[in-house]
Amino acid sequence: MNSFADKIIEFNKSLDFNGELPKGINIMNPFRRDDYILLVSSSFYKKFYDDNKPRHLILGINPGRFGAGVTGIPFTDTKRLTNECGLKYSGKETHEPSSVFVYEVIKAYGGLTKFYNDFYISAVCPLGFTISDAKGKEKNYNYYDSTELTNTLFEFIVENIKNQIAFGIETNVCFCFGTGKNEKFLRLLNDRYGFFKKLVPLEHPRFIMQYKSKSRQEYVDKYINAFKSS
């Protein structure tokens, strides 16, 4: 019987989008770009998910360039991968503020093993996107940043939420990182497809680190209270 880890790894291996994206938007699929990322992420999942325990799902927005775009693991940059998770990584070191906050929450929850025994983190859209500004600098782009992109990805997003629920996800509650557009879109999907009995929105880690960093302990406490009430 395949473990939770095996199911995640197979999902990542097969993850692909072949539709036509709006002009100027590029897809970011770390698993197709670099075999090493699949190897690194697989080591993480085998370490923390190699069992058949059911877990609750946490959905962010989509992978970013310095977190899952490099490690293949949502909200885990290379610093957290090596320093917190104890896994080897050879390549450019990345720092993602969202990852810093999430690992503070994990520590407050009781540590890596306890947290990952209870939760699986993914994203509403499991692949990321980039766009270049007027100076040619590459920036993250979210699935909801244009209606055209959202519509293009709609069926892809629905299919992959269904696929991940099949890993062994508890469907009584899903946690959503993002209390704005991400929550709004996920609620639309949930109202239509009935994936989960309840959605619990939480302020996005990036928002907290960028705008509420001085009071982020309050948000850590809010996260912990929400997770422990599930």
Structure-block tokens of residue 217: 């302990």
Within 10 A of 197 (CB to CB), how many other CB atoms are there? Answer: 11
Residue 129 forms beta bridges with which residues? 27, 141
Specify whether the CB–CB gap between 72 and 127 falls below 8 A.
Answer: no
pTM here is 0.96
The answer to whether residue 134 scores a pLDDT higher than 80 is no
Tens-digit pLDDT profile for residues 167-212: 999 999 999 999 999 999 999 999 999 999 999 999 999 999 999 9
The answer to whether residue 137 scores a pLDDT higher than 90 is no
Strands (E), the chain: 25-28, 55-60, 119-123, 128-132, 138-141, 169-177, 199-202
Q: What is the pLDDT of residue 34?
A: 87
pLDDT bucket at 67, cuts 50 / 70 / 90: confident
The answer to whether residue 136 scores a pLDDT higher than 90 is no
pLDDT bucket at 132, cuts 50 / 70 / 90: confident
Tens-digit pLDDT profile for residues 91-117: 889 999 999 999 999 999 999 999 999
Q: Look up residue 124 and give its amino acid.
A: V
Specify whether the CB–CB gap between 169 and 55 falls below 8 A.
Answer: yes
Lowest mean pLDDT, pick from 104-108, 130-134, 139-143, 186-190: 130-134
> How buried is 173 (Cβ within 10 angstroms: 0-12 exposed, 13-18 middle, 19+ buried)?
middle
Structure-block tokens of residue 136: 């040619």
Structural element, H or E, at residue 116: helix 112-118
Lowest mean pLDDT, pick from 26-40, 49-63, 104-118, 187-201: 26-40
Distances (CA, A) of 96 to 78, 134, 141, 176: 9, 24, 15, 19
What are the domain boundaries of the chain? 4-170+182-228
Please state which CATH number belongs to domain 4-170+182-228: 3.40.470.10
Q: What is the pLDDT of residue 91?
A: 85
